[in-house]
Amino acid sequence: MSTKQDRQEEARDIKTGDDQPSNMSEVYLPFIGFFVVMAVGLGLVIGGFNALEYL
């Protein structure tokens, strides 16, 4: 949305010499990974509490 951020991303691509259009996935991959880890962690915690109730 912000043109400033777009320019920074383009400058970073030019610096690294990466011409592939996979910039979006490279930018959001750490965030996606973090949310996946958080979701799995919450699932394990909730599953653990449910398992404790059945014991």
Summarize pLDDT for 33-54 with one digit per residue, the tens: 899 999 999 999 998 888 888 7
Those residues whose C-beta lies under 8 Å from the C-beta of residue 29, and which sit 6 or more positions away, are: none
Cα angle for residues 38, 42, 44 (degrees, 5° grid)? 115
Those residues whose C-beta lies under 8 Å from the C-beta of residue 9, and which sit 6 or more positions away, are: 23, 27
Token pair 């979701």 is at which residue? 39
Check: pTM over 0.75? Answer yes or no.
no
CA–CA gap between residue 49 and residue 51 (Å, rounded): 5
- Confidence (pLDDT) at 21: 54
pLDDT band at 14 (very low <50, low <70, confident <90, very high): low
